[in-house]
């Protein structure tokens, strides 16, 4: 399939590489020339603009930071909604506000173009090995047509409802992940201060009810003081701000989410916004003056 892929960041680049490996023909664009060059070396066509990527394609995929970026590309500045082939479909893999997803879909519908919102979970490691989890919103028939494309990048692809449902589900995911990481950091720090080795805490707990994918991925990073980003704190702040907006619209209580968001904001102001979200541990280390170790 001929695909336009716009957005080759920490997640988008490996996702696009996996599509090339699966045999799809990609037109790619990003302001990061090194990322574009890497895709070109893998067999994709480098394009000079977002508009150039959509020439003659069947599918347009974006993987961009937030709602304003997707709206800019699709309906405001680049106006791909107006120039992409009317037979093509748009899939947005960005994690954005579901209200924005529905706005974009409504604009595309005026041009007869279908859309899926398909945010992902799994971070950079799962983007690289092609085992991301896709949460998708849109029509069943459109989902069925392009599911195999998403499966080239992920191991789980689930239709959650109409357009916007994918991003609602992603917001739920981001709430659970954020609170889970914070609880993990809090418990590991407390356990060490009570005299138990963090490695033993992790080993004993991971096979029980408190064990989780988050624990398996983040506890070793915390013990190693390794905060190289698979998913940056600043991006998680963006997602939790979207949770706050979505919750406010329906009057949903989110006290835990708001507390972790405040913790992340403190880390951002301390200069840790580009760290992995496992660096929530730093919030506790700052309070206690004690560093977690193996």
Contacts for 134 with CB less than 8 Å, ≥ 6 apart: 93, 118, 119, 120, 150, 153, 154, 156, 157, 158, 166
Look at the chain and count its residues: 294
Which of the four pLDDT bands, split at 50, 70 and 90, describes residue 109? Answer: very high
Sign of CA dihedral 21, 151, 236, 182: negative
Q: What is the mean pLDDT of the chain?
A: 97
The closest of 135, 119, 89, 172 to 11, measured between CA atoms, is: 119
Give residue limits of the domains in the chain. Answer: 2-162, 168-288
Q: What is the mean pLDDT of residues 170-189?
A: 97
Name 6's bridge partners: 29, 62
Confidence (pLDDT) at 230? 84
Tens of pLDDT, residue by residue over 45-97, are 999 999 999 999 999 999 999 999 999 999 999 999 999 999 999 999 999 99
Say what the alpha-carbon torsion angle 82, 83, 86, 91 is, to the nearest 10 degrees.
-80
* Distance from the Cα of residue 172 to its chain's centroid: 12
Buried b (16+ CB within 10 A) or exposed e, 105-128: bebbeeeebbbbbbbbbbbbebbb
The closest of 259, 121, 133, 270 to 185, measured between CA atoms, is: 259
Backbone angles phi, psi at 191, to 5 degrees: -60, -45
Confidence (pLDDT) at 157? 98
Name 62's bridge partners: 6, 92
Percent of the chain topping pLDDT 70: 100
Confidence (pLDDT) at 8? 98
- Burial of residue 166, with CB atoms counted within 10 A of its CB: 0-12 exposed, 13-18 middle, 19 or more buried: buried
Q: What is the mean pLDDT of residues 252-278?
A: 98
Percent of the chain topping pLDDT 90: 97
Query: Catalytic residue among 13, 126, 170, 218, which?
Result: 170
Architecture of domain 168-288: Orthogonal Bundle (1.10)
Residue 123 has pLDDT above 90, yes or no: no
Judge contact between 61 and 74, C-beta under 8 A. Answer: no
Judge contact between 7 and 63, C-beta under 8 A. Answer: yes
DSSP code at position 223: H
Residue 191 has pLDDT above 90, yes or no: yes
Architecture of domain 2-162: 3-Layer(aba) Sandwich (3.40)
Q: Is 200 tagged catalytic?
A: no
Backbone angles phi, psi at 230, to 5 degrees: -95, -35
* Distance from the Cα of residue 84 to its chain's centroid: 25
The closest of 283, 65, 279, 277 to 177, measured between CA atoms, is: 277
The closest of 64, 56, 69 to 26, measured between CA atoms, is: 56
Judge contact between 27 and 52, C-beta under 8 A. Answer: yes
Tens of pLDDT, residue by residue over 207-257, are 999 999 999 999 999 999 999 998 899 999 999 999 999 999 999 999 999
Judge contact between 18 and 93, C-beta under 8 A. Answer: no
Residue 118 has pLDDT above 90, yes or no: yes
Backbone angles phi, psi at 105, to 5 degrees: -60, -40
Residue 294 has pLDDT above 90, yes or no: no
Token look-up 């408190």 returns 210
How far apart CA 256 and CA 96 sit, in angstroms, is 21
């Amino acid at each position: 399939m001929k695909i336009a892929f716009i957005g080759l960041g920490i997640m988008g680049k490996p996702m696009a590489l996996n599509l090339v490996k699966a045999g799809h023909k990609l037109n790619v664009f990003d302001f990061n020339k090194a990322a574009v060059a890497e895709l070109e070396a893998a067999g994709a066509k480098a394009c000079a603009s977002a508009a150039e990527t959509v020439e003659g394609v069947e599918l347009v995929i974006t993987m961009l930071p937030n709602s304003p970026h997707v709206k800019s590309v699709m309906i405001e500045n680049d106006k791909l909604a107006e120039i992409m082939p009317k037979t093509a479909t748009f899939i947005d893999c960005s994690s954005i506000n579901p209200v924005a997803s529905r706005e974009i879909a409504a604009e595309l519908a005026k041009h007869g173009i279908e859309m899926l919102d398909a945010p992902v979970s799994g971070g950079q490691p799962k983007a690289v090995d092609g085992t991301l989890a896709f949460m998708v919103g849109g029509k069943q028939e459109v989902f069925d047509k392009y599911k195999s494309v998403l499966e080239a990048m992920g191991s789980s692809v689930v239709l959650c409802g109409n357009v916007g449902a994918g991003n609602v589900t992603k917001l739920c995911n981001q709430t659970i992940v954020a609170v889970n990481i914070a609880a993990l950091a809090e418990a590991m720090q407390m356990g060490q201060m009570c005299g138990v080795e963090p490695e033993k805490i992790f080993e004993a707990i991971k096979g029980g009810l408190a064990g989780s994918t988050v624990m398996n991925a983040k506890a070793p990073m915390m013990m190693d003081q390794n905060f190289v980003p698979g998913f940056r704190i600043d991006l998680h702040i963006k997602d939790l701000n979207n949770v706050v907006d979505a919750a406010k619209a329906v009057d949903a209580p989110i006290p835990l989410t708001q507390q972790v968001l405040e913790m992340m904001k403190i880390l951002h102001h301390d200069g840790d916004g580009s760290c992995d979200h496992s660096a929530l541990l730093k919030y506790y280390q700052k309070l206690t003056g004690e560093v977690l170790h193996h």
